[in-house]
Homo-oligomer: A and B are copies of this chain.
Protein backbone atom coordinates (compact mmCIF):
# COMPACT_ATOMS: atom_id res chain seq x y z
CA UNK A 1 0.00 0.00 0.00
CA UNK A 2 2.45 2.59 0.85
CA UNK A 3 3.42 3.26 -2.70
CA UNK A 4 2.48 6.88 -2.66
CA UNK A 5 3.50 7.17 0.92
CA UNK A 6 6.93 6.20 -0.12
CA UNK A 7 6.90 8.54 -3.07
CA UNK A 8 5.73 11.36 -0.91
CA UNK A 9 8.43 10.54 1.52
CA UNK A 10 10.93 10.50 -1.29
CA UNK A 11 9.87 13.98 -2.22
CA UNK A 12 10.47 14.98 1.34
CA UNK A 13 13.99 13.66 1.05
CA UNK A 14 13.49 10.14 2.28
CA UNK A 15 12.32 10.60 5.78
CA UNK A 16 11.97 7.79 8.31
CA UNK A 17 8.34 7.34 7.26
CA UNK A 18 9.52 5.01 4.51
CA UNK A 19 8.31 1.70 5.82
CA UNK A 20 10.17 -1.51 5.23
CA UNK A 21 8.56 -4.11 3.05
CA UNK A 22 7.31 -7.24 4.76
CA UNK A 23 7.16 -10.70 3.26
CA UNK A 24 4.41 -11.10 0.74
CA UNK A 25 3.64 -14.67 1.75
CA UNK A 26 1.23 -13.58 4.43
CA UNK A 27 0.28 -10.28 2.91
CA UNK A 28 -0.13 -9.17 6.47
CA UNK A 29 1.88 -6.06 5.99
CA UNK A 30 0.67 -4.04 3.07
CA UNK A 31 3.72 -1.85 3.00
CA UNK A 32 5.25 -1.90 -0.43
CA UNK A 33 8.92 -1.45 -0.71
CA UNK A 34 9.25 0.66 -3.76
CA UNK A 35 12.72 1.73 -2.87
CA UNK A 36 14.03 -1.73 -3.45
CA UNK A 37 12.82 -1.87 -7.01
CA UNK A 38 12.65 1.70 -8.24
CA UNK A 39 15.70 3.72 -9.12
CA UNK A 40 15.92 7.16 -7.63
CA UNK A 41 15.43 9.09 -10.82
CA UNK A 42 12.25 7.14 -11.60
CA UNK A 43 11.02 7.66 -8.13
CA UNK A 44 11.43 11.36 -8.61
CA UNK A 45 9.66 11.29 -11.90
CA UNK A 46 6.74 9.53 -10.35
CA UNK A 47 6.72 11.65 -7.28
CA UNK A 48 6.11 14.57 -9.56
CA UNK A 49 2.97 12.89 -10.81
CA UNK A 50 1.63 12.64 -7.28
CA UNK A 51 -0.26 15.40 -5.56
CA UNK A 52 -1.23 15.66 -1.94
CA UNK A 53 -4.97 16.07 -1.50
CA UNK A 54 -7.23 16.54 1.50
CA UNK A 55 -10.88 15.90 2.16
CA UNK A 56 -12.95 16.98 5.14
CA UNK A 57 -15.41 14.74 6.97
CA UNK A 58 -18.14 13.49 4.70
CA UNK A 59 -16.60 14.88 1.55
CA UNK A 60 -16.68 12.75 -1.57
CA UNK A 61 -13.30 11.69 -2.92
CA UNK A 62 -14.47 9.82 -5.96
CA UNK A 63 -17.96 9.02 -7.21
CA UNK A 64 -19.31 5.99 -8.96
CA UNK A 65 -19.37 6.44 -12.71
CA UNK A 66 -16.66 9.09 -12.86
CA UNK A 67 -13.87 8.25 -15.28
CA UNK A 68 -11.19 6.57 -13.18
CA UNK A 69 -8.41 8.97 -13.99
CA UNK A 70 -6.66 8.87 -10.67
CA UNK A 71 -5.34 6.36 -8.19
CA UNK A 72 -5.07 7.45 -4.57
CA UNK A 73 -3.08 6.27 -1.66
CA UNK A 74 -4.55 7.17 1.69
CA UNK A 75 -2.00 8.71 4.01
CA UNK A 76 -4.24 9.73 6.90
CA UNK A 77 -7.82 9.24 7.97
CA UNK A 78 -10.53 6.76 7.07
CA UNK A 79 -12.38 6.41 3.78
CA UNK A 80 -15.68 4.66 3.20
CA UNK A 81 -16.33 2.80 -0.07
CA UNK A 82 -19.98 2.26 -0.80
CA UNK A 83 -22.50 1.37 -3.44
CA UNK A 84 -26.02 2.65 -3.41
CA UNK A 85 -29.06 1.12 -5.06
CA UNK A 86 -31.48 3.45 -6.89
CA UNK A 87 -33.84 3.47 -3.90
CA UNK A 88 -31.03 4.58 -1.60
CA UNK A 89 -30.26 1.29 0.06
CA UNK A 90 -26.56 1.48 0.64
CA UNK A 91 -23.87 -1.15 1.10
CA UNK A 92 -20.47 -0.17 2.40
CA UNK A 93 -18.07 -2.46 0.58
CA UNK A 94 -15.04 -1.48 2.61
CA UNK A 95 -13.19 1.02 4.72
CA UNK A 96 -9.78 2.29 3.69
CA UNK A 97 -7.07 3.22 6.16
CA UNK A 98 -3.69 4.87 5.82
CA UNK A 99 -1.62 2.95 3.33
CA UNK A 100 -4.57 1.58 1.37
CA UNK A 101 -5.05 2.23 -2.31
CA UNK A 102 -8.17 3.72 -3.75
CA UNK A 103 -9.25 3.38 -7.32
CA UNK A 104 -6.67 0.95 -8.44
CA UNK A 105 -9.11 -1.84 -9.22
CA UNK A 106 -11.28 0.49 -11.28
CA UNK A 107 -11.02 0.08 -15.00
CA UNK A 108 -12.90 2.70 -16.96
CA UNK A 109 -14.92 4.29 -14.24
CA UNK A 110 -15.03 4.05 -10.47
CA UNK A 111 -17.51 1.42 -9.42
CA UNK A 112 -18.23 2.88 -5.99
CA UNK A 113 -18.40 6.11 -4.07
CA UNK A 114 -15.51 6.96 -1.81
CA UNK A 115 -16.11 9.43 0.98
CA UNK A 116 -14.07 10.73 3.87
CA UNK A 117 -15.26 9.34 7.21
CA UNK A 118 -12.75 11.46 9.06
CA UNK A 119 -10.47 14.19 7.83
CA UNK A 120 -8.50 12.45 5.08
CA UNK A 121 -5.17 13.07 3.46
CA UNK A 122 -4.19 11.19 0.35
CA UNK A 123 -1.69 11.10 -2.43
CA UNK A 124 -3.25 11.41 -5.85
CA UNK A 125 -1.63 9.94 -8.98
CA UNK A 126 -2.58 10.28 -12.56
CA UNK A 127 -3.67 6.82 -13.51
CA UNK A 128 -1.32 6.75 -16.47
CA UNK A 129 1.68 7.57 -14.34
CA UNK A 130 0.71 4.87 -11.97
CA UNK A 131 0.39 2.32 -14.72
CA UNK A 132 3.77 3.36 -16.07
CA UNK A 133 5.24 2.60 -12.71
CA UNK A 134 3.77 -0.86 -12.84
CA UNK A 135 5.02 -1.43 -16.35
CA UNK A 136 8.51 -0.33 -15.41
CA UNK A 137 8.77 -2.38 -12.25
CA UNK A 138 7.45 -5.88 -12.33
CA UNK A 139 8.17 -6.30 -8.65
CA UNK A 140 5.61 -3.56 -7.99
CA UNK A 141 3.13 -5.39 -10.06
CA UNK A 142 3.71 -8.57 -8.15
CA UNK A 143 3.25 -6.80 -4.91
CA UNK A 144 -0.03 -5.32 -6.03
CA UNK A 145 -1.21 -8.68 -7.26
CA UNK A 146 -0.47 -10.10 -3.84
CA UNK A 147 -2.41 -7.28 -2.23
CA UNK A 148 -5.32 -7.84 -4.57
CA UNK A 149 -5.38 -11.53 -3.63
CA UNK A 150 -5.53 -10.51 -0.03
CA UNK A 151 -8.45 -8.20 -0.74
CA UNK A 152 -10.27 -11.01 -2.49
CA UNK A 153 -9.93 -13.19 0.57
CA UNK A 154 -11.21 -10.41 2.78
CA UNK A 155 -14.13 -9.93 0.44
CA UNK A 156 -14.94 -13.62 0.69
CA UNK A 157 -14.92 -13.45 4.46
CA UNK A 158 -17.27 -10.52 4.24
CA UNK A 159 -19.59 -12.59 2.05
CA UNK A 160 -19.73 -15.22 4.80
CA UNK A 161 -20.56 -12.49 7.26
CA UNK A 162 -23.27 -10.93 5.10
CA UNK A 163 -24.74 -14.19 3.90
CA UNK A 164 -24.68 -16.32 7.00
CA UNK A 165 -23.92 -14.58 10.27
CA UNK A 166 -26.38 -13.25 12.84
CA UNK A 167 -26.35 -9.61 13.86
CA UNK A 168 -24.40 -10.35 17.05
CA UNK A 169 -21.86 -12.42 15.14
CA UNK A 170 -21.43 -9.67 12.58
CA UNK A 171 -20.84 -7.14 15.29
CA UNK A 172 -18.33 -9.42 17.01
CA UNK A 173 -16.43 -10.00 13.77
CA UNK A 174 -16.34 -6.31 13.09
CA UNK A 175 -15.08 -5.40 16.54
CA UNK A 176 -12.30 -7.97 16.33
CA UNK A 177 -11.27 -6.70 12.95
CA UNK A 178 -11.20 -3.12 14.11
CA UNK A 179 -9.27 -4.03 17.25
CA UNK A 180 -6.75 -5.87 15.09
CA UNK A 181 -6.33 -2.74 13.05
CA UNK A 182 -5.76 -0.65 16.16
CA UNK A 183 -3.17 -3.15 17.32
CA UNK A 184 -1.43 -3.20 13.96
CA UNK A 185 -0.94 0.53 14.00
CA UNK A 186 0.56 0.36 17.43
CA UNK A 187 -2.50 1.09 19.54
CA UNK A 188 -4.08 -0.67 22.48
CA UNK A 189 -4.91 -4.14 21.12
CA UNK A 190 -7.88 -4.54 23.44
CA UNK A 191 -9.59 -1.47 22.08
CA UNK A 192 -11.65 -1.23 18.91
CA UNK A 193 -11.80 2.31 17.65
CA UNK A 194 -14.80 3.03 15.48
CA UNK A 195 -14.37 6.43 13.87
CA UNK A 196 -17.35 5.90 11.58
CA UNK A 197 -21.02 6.49 12.37
CA UNK A 198 -23.40 3.68 13.35
CA UNK A 199 -25.06 4.05 9.98
CA UNK A 200 -21.74 3.35 8.28
CA UNK A 201 -21.21 0.26 10.40
CA UNK A 202 -24.72 -0.97 9.72
CA UNK A 203 -24.31 -0.44 6.00
CA UNK A 204 -21.07 -2.37 6.15
CA UNK A 205 -22.60 -5.25 8.10
CA UNK A 206 -25.84 -5.41 6.15
CA UNK A 207 -27.92 -4.31 9.16
CA UNK A 208 -29.73 -1.20 10.38
CA UNK A 209 -28.21 1.30 12.82
CA UNK A 210 -30.77 0.17 15.39
CA UNK A 211 -29.65 -3.43 15.14
CA UNK A 212 -26.01 -2.41 15.43
CA UNK A 213 -26.85 -0.53 18.57
CA UNK A 214 -28.82 -3.42 19.99
CA UNK A 215 -26.11 -5.95 19.16
CA UNK A 216 -23.56 -3.84 20.94
CA UNK A 217 -25.90 -3.57 23.91
CA UNK A 218 -26.22 -7.35 23.99
CA UNK A 219 -22.48 -7.90 23.86
CA UNK A 220 -22.17 -5.40 26.67
CA UNK A 221 -24.79 -7.10 28.82
CA UNK A 222 -22.96 -10.39 28.31
CA UNK A 223 -19.79 -8.86 29.62
CA UNK A 224 -17.87 -9.25 26.38
CA UNK A 225 -17.30 -5.55 25.75
CA UNK A 226 -17.52 -2.17 27.41
CA UNK A 227 -18.49 0.93 25.50
CA UNK A 228 -16.11 3.80 26.07
CA UNK A 229 -18.08 6.53 24.42
CA UNK A 230 -19.83 5.88 21.12
CA UNK A 231 -16.64 5.44 19.15
CA UNK A 232 -14.49 3.05 21.06
CA UNK A 233 -15.25 -0.37 22.41
CA UNK A 234 -13.10 -2.23 24.89
CA UNK A 235 -12.93 -5.96 24.26
CA UNK A 236 -13.21 -7.56 27.68
CA UNK A 237 -13.06 -11.14 26.44
CA UNK A 238 -11.58 -11.32 22.94
CA UNK A 239 -11.45 -15.11 23.02
CA UNK A 240 -15.15 -15.41 23.72
CA UNK A 241 -15.82 -12.78 21.10
CA UNK A 242 -13.80 -14.74 18.55
CA UNK A 243 -15.73 -17.87 19.42
CA UNK A 244 -18.97 -16.01 18.98
CA UNK A 245 -17.95 -14.38 15.73
CA UNK A 246 -16.34 -17.52 14.40
CA UNK A 247 -14.09 -14.86 13.08
CA UNK A 248 -12.78 -16.30 9.86
CA UNK A 249 -13.15 -19.63 11.64
CA UNK A 250 -9.59 -19.99 12.82
Q: A: which residues have CB within 8 A of B?
A: 24-27, 81, 83-86, 89-91, 93-94, 104-108, 111-112, 134-135, 138, 141-142, 144-146, 148-153, 155-160, 162-165, 203, 205-206, 246, 249
Contacts and interface: CB of A to CB of B under 8 A. Distances in A.
**Interface pairs A-B: 7 shortest CB-CB:** A163-B206, A155-B155, A162-B162, A105-B149, A148-B148, A93-B156, A138-B138
21 contacts: A27-B107, A81-B156, A83-B160, A83-B249, A85-B164, A85-B249, A86-B246, A89-B164, A91-B159, A91-B163, A94-B156, A104-B149, A107-B146, A111-B153, A138-B141, A148-B148, A148-B149, A152-B152, A152-B155, A159-B162, A164-B206
Contacts of A160: 83, 85, 91, 93
B145 A141 contact: yes
A29 to B, nearest CB: 13
A164 B91 CA distance: 7
A84 B27 CA distance: 23
A118 B52 CA distance: 52
A139 to B, nearest CB: 10
A24 B134 CA distance: 15
Contact of A159 (B106, B159, B246): B159
* Count of identical protomers in the assembly: 2
Contacts of A83: 156-157, 159-160, 249
Nearest to A90: B164
B27 A149 contact: no
Contact of A156 (B107, B108, B112, B134): B112
B105 A153 contact: yes
Contacts of A159: 83, 91, 93, 155, 158-159, 162
A41 B51 CA distance: 45
A56 B246 CA distance: 31
A246 B107 contact: no
Nearest to A149: B105
A35 to B, nearest CB: 20
Contacts of A157: 83
Given A108-B25, A152-B155, A163 B164 contact: no
A250 to B, nearest CB: 9
